[in-house]
Amino acid sequence: MYNTVLVAVDLSEDSKKVIKTAADLAGESSKLHLVHVVEPVAAAYSMDIYAVNVSELQQEAIKFAEQKLEKIGQELAIEPDRVHTLLGAPAPEIRNLANELGVDAIVIGSHGHSGWKILLGSTAIKVLHGSTCDVMTVHVGKDD
């Protein structure tokens, strides 16, 4: 049983399965934290976006993610101070938050497609490497 669990979600429908698994793992007396990391807009697109107001686009992406994650948190009765929307590269941001919160485990979804990604998705494997707590992956996607 874990005392504090960080659930990293991508805000897709698959997030429900990841959160349910984390809640089951955490148990009733545990604290569950939700996190979603918004990648910088410039990093997410490999094209010239000089004609677009990147700052405005970034703020819209963050606001959208915050609203969606807050709604999930409310539905699960998770306190607002345990719902985290961050900006940056997902894996290091998730690991840093886990360290800051002193969590016992991180739960993250994994699609797994080829190579090492069959076992762990690319973000999940990056979270695993360098984590100082347990990391549990939940298989999500077409095969569920």
Give all domains of the chain, ordered by start, each with its CATH number. 4-139 (3.40.50.620)
Amino acid at 59: Q
Give pLDDT, residue 42: 65
Exposure class string for 117-143: b at 16+ Cβ within 10 A, else e: eeebbbbbbbbbeebebebbbbbbeee
What string of DSSP letters covers 90-116? Answer: HHHHHHHHHHHHT-SEEEEEE---STH
| Mean pLDDT computed over 55-79 | 92
- pLDDT tens digits, one per residue of 17-53: 999 999 988 886 568 999 999 988 765 555 555 556 7
Give pLDDT, residue 84: 97
Phi, psi of 49 (to 5 degrees): -115, 30
Sign of CA dihedral 43, 45, 63, 84: negative
CA distance 41 to 43: 5
Running DSSP on this structure, what letter comes out for residue 47?
S
The pTM (predicted TM-score) of the whole model is 0.84
| Residue 114 vs residue 102, higher pLDDT | 102
Give pLDDT, residue 97: 98
| Mean pLDDT computed over 99-108 | 96
With a cut of 90, say whether residue 112 has pLDDT above it.
Answer: no
Q: Both tokens of residue 9?
A: 């979600």
The beta-strand segments (E) located in 1-133 are: 4-8, 31-38, 83-87, 105-110
Give pLDDT, residue 41: 74
